[in-house]
Chains A and B, each alone.
Chain A
Amino acid sequence: MNNAIELNGVGWKAGKGFELRDLTLRVPTGSIYGFLGPNGSGKTTTIRLFMGMMRPDRGDIRLLGKQVPRELPRILARVGFVPERPHVYPALTVGEALRYHASFYPSWDRSWSGDLMERLDLDPVRKISRMSKGETGKLLLLLALSQRPDLLVLDEPTDGLDPVVRRDVLTAVLDYVSETSATVFISSHLIHELERFCDWVGVLDGGQLVAELPMQSFKNGIKRIRVSNAPHVPGDTPFVILRRSGIDALGAMETWTVRGWQDPMRQYFEGVGATLRDVIDLDLEEGFVELLRSARPNNHRS
């Protein structure tokens, strides 16, 4: 499968405070990839690295099959970018910002831009500095979509937006994807927002990729199971144990949080003399939290 974004062993260090360690990430072409992580986990840094805004200390980055930063200008002509904070010049009007931006993109679609501006209810003579956060968010998306990108990179695009604007923004993205089958990379810490339309998900925590898997596996594969007579050392399990808790003195009943669960895996417990009592579905947020807990170094059996 081709990857629209590919990072191999990328490392980047900012003093003593933060480090991206050996980051390997693959975003399949045509997918909608949700990049999840708590605030400060390194999502924006990762985006800046693969967009060529910063140079990694080590590792290899390819965007749309081309090497970053060697072929950067040609790559960026095919990438629509909505940064975390508005990056357009505030003294311009919407129309001026569009004209300026359009001049850099040969693929700029003027009529599509006009339609989108109408749909997003943006006034071309309105000054950007006087626009609300929601209007600015819509303008950034308009700029990114009007160039008809093959890859759309959205860094927390709906952060701080009201529900109506958030819906407008996400609908515009989905409409574009359904028309063009472009790849979308969307970072967020709002897991429920990504749940509805992402088909892949990557979870970053403390500068490390904790998990990268299809959304379906993420949704269905993280379970809480209750086990009686659980073995002290579980041995080779067909699933990944994220956490063991509720262990009583007699070892009678334990609660395990596991990843990669499938129903046939029940047989494992018969093999080790344990009894599976219950399989509990976790909602996405619970699953996300469990995944993060398991990845942190101070995660102990509790």
Chain B
Amino acid sequence: MRPTRLGPAAIAAALFMVLLVAMVSSGAPAFDQENAAASDLRVSVSKSEVSALTGDTFTFTSEISNNGSEVTPPLIANLDFVALDQSTYIDPEDWSPQRTLVVDPIAAGSSATQSWTVKPVLNGDVAAYVVVLPSSPTLATAGPLVSSPAIYLHVEEHRALNPGGVLPVVLAVPGVLALAFAGLRVAGKRR
């Protein structure tokens, strides 16, 4: 019986199958693992829309849920702002005193809650959102970031007549000085 000879196409197909099996059986590389971990995270926020005046303060919470089967690495949650009207200049540091929080590893099926304080300083339409990424530099750059839905902020200007309670001093000091100097001048002329 003549032995069966394999053609070049069959050899190529066999090699491709061997490589494919090797890739699958050796386990997914780190990059894929991280992608899987990132896709297992969900970030939700406690508010979807806020109307505020400049200078007001409001808080909201974000919740990071780990829907995967493995514990997450340590995470960083960051609060960001984007002007939707493209005319409001936003310096995020002015809008929130603490914009970055370190989140401890979250066990599978668990979640972690963060509290954020926002103080709008300029009027306009702004979106605020929380973005989560692994704190390890190598992991942070390996996969896509996880972000919450945006909170829509509609901020109107607040006009305070007595900001910080300074108005009495601001008016009284020049007034008292004017009276004092007028009195001094009158007294000087009488002499």
Bound pair: A and B?
Answer: no
